[in-house]
Amino acid sequence: MADDSTGPPNTYPDIVSAIGNTPLIRLNRLSEHLQASSVWVKLERCNPGGSIKDRIALQMVLEAESNGLLEEGGTIVEATSGNTGIGLAMVAAQRGYRCVFTMPDKMSKEKIDLLRAMGAEVHVCPTAVDKEDPRSYYEVAARLGREIPGAWYPDQYSHQSNPLAHYLSTGPEIWQQTGGKITHFVATMGTGGTISGTARFLREHAEINDKAPPRIIGVDAVGSILKEWFDDGTMGDPHTYQVEGFGEDFIPSATDFALIDEIHQVDDGECFQWARALAKKEGMFCGGSCGGSIKVALDIAERAEEEGRAAMVVAILPDAGNPYLSKFYNDDWLRENGWNPESWE
């Protein structure tokens, strides 16, 4: 987040100083059909830990250190679908903390191996149990946080440093990179930290600059409850799905729904198909949530054009494709799971 302004450009005193300032890149081949509108993507895989979650990992640790919750030699305990764990492991390695993580068992083996490679202890827990179940990855993390002496359990789902990190970095970067011209902001929703913190900054700065606020568009997964909760206050009937990193079966308090204008749902097949298209047609090798994000971003740009308006849509691409090579980037895996990758070419 902080460049070392006294040194040569792009030179940093340590790894965490290289977090943020990710590129904003225009889509070209996937958006050829658009006339006056453009879709831009923020490539969060360019963070040093490989995902958008580096931003919140650093912010939560800074807060814990300043409040005395994390002391020298302390242990960070967290429930993570992978990316927050990698960010925390990176910050912990740089500062000498120990990490203990719990993960749902649907997560890719590469993510678990990577966390272990960075020195973390990983507990794999069942996906298909309620959040309150003592076996769930949330409950196991909470228990380990109580049991391990000197442990700090940030809980990204309720931690206000999660949206704050995006208010302090993602939002200002997008405002600056678009020269304040952004008309629509699209982000997948897990903890809701990305959408809430970024939206708050963009809305405030539109107001300060006497501009119409950008429309804030959340992307949820089919099987999750977030869209239904937002649309009519019901929880629906959550079921498991394969795309990783977004959608929830509970309402995270890190999400500020009042800042969101609309939520769209995407299914596993749409996420996988669009992520593969992003790699093959734009040269951006990214995760499944990125596929969902650009699918909705392109829909939004098309809708604006139908309404006779020119949109500048910015979509967040949270992570890289590497952890998913053995999953939706693998044709055999797709066929075994009932998809027909040939029909997507």
Binding site for ligand PMP (CB under 6 A): 51, 53, 81, 83, 188-194, 245-246, 287, 289, 318-319
| CB nearer to ligand PMP: pick between 74 and 138 | 138
Pairing of strands 215-221, 38-43: unpaired
Maximum Cα interatomic distance, the chain, rounded to a whole number of Å: 60
| CA-closest candidate to residue 187, choices 319, 49, 46 | 319
Supply 170's token pair. 């993602």
Least spacing, CB of residue 188 vs ligand PMP, in Å: 4
Q: Which residue has the tokens 């100083």?
A: 17
Output phi, psi for 105, to 5 deg.
-75, -5
Residue found by looking up tokens 């990490």 in the block: 99
Choice between 37 and 51, CB closer to ligand PMP: 51
Pick 268 or 319: Cβ nearer ligand PMP? 319
C-alpha span between 185 and 124 (Å, rounded): 34
- Closest by CA position to 28, among listed 318, 283, 217: 283
171 or 190, CB closer to ligand PMP? 190
Residue 309 has which token pair?
């308006």
What's the distance, Cα to Cα, between the start and end of the chain in Å? 38
Could you confirm whether 53 is annotated as catalytic?
yes
Q: Which of 42, 53, 227, 327 is catalytic?
A: 53
